[in-house]
Amino acid sequence: MLRACKLTKIFCDIADINLIKKFNNKKIVKGFTTNPSLMRKAGAKDYSNYSKEILKITKKPVSLEVFADDIKNMISQGNKISRWGKSIYVKVPVTNSKGMFMGKVINTLNKNNIKLNITSVYSSNQTKQILKKINKKTKVIISIFAGRMGDVGKDPIPQIKKSIKFSKNYKNVQILWASTREPYNYTQAKQLGCHIITVPPAIIEKIEKFGKSFQNLTTDTVKGFLADTRKSKFKL
């Protein structure tokens, strides 16, 4: 049986400066997640300077990702990024591009008391691996890519449920629903007991409209059809 979590926090998954300014003012948004792809899409040229601009806008938690592909440089980048501000969670992929588990990176940064967001996680077995490399004191987020699992026909729910179960004795660990695809994912994350869900801006705006009755939804839908019919000047 699923147990609803009333405390599932919403983070905004974005790197665009103007959108961060906008969504930082929303009470519903409790933090921000970024990644190298979002940074590139936002037009970032200098990773350090762009990240520091984000940190000037918000005091809420911000996840900033290392982009090296080897252990030594991941550790170096993680240490450097962590010094930019107290609100930072250093994002580290659970493996590098060759599929090698980044346990040494996770363990080293964790021992340095650096808050981490372990990303690109897909299985509860990966969650187990991560938990073996961390202490029970320094804050760690484990980001499970639910939406991307669904994209290839895999059910993310069992992996998230097991991950929550495995981490229940780690009070410093939060399970995050990542790669959100639709507003209902927020409801699912709450039902599972996820601590956090990270959500694109457009979906956050839809979540803010939660609570409409079926009748209101029907009326709004029909009004939309009618408006488009009149704009098109359809006749029979």
By C-alpha distance, which of 198, 104, 99 is closest to 143?
A: 198
Compute φ and ψ for 205, nearest 5 degrees. -65, -30
Q: Catalytic pick from 9, 91, 115, 190? A: 91
Our answer to whether residue 171 is catalytic in this structure is: no
Which burial class, exposed, middle or buried, applies to 153 when counting CB atoms under 10 A from its CB (0-12, 13-18, 19+)? Answer: exposed
Helices 103-111, 124-131: axis angle to 10 degrees equals: 40
**Helix, strand, coil distribution of the chain in percent, nearest 5:** 45, 20, 35
Give SS3 for 132.
Answer: coil
By C-alpha distance, which of 28, 48, 78, 69 is closest to 205?
A: 28
Residue count of the chain = 236
Q: Compute the Cα dihedral for 108, 111, 112, 115 and give only its sign.
A: positive
Q: Please identify every residue annotated as catalytic.
A: 91
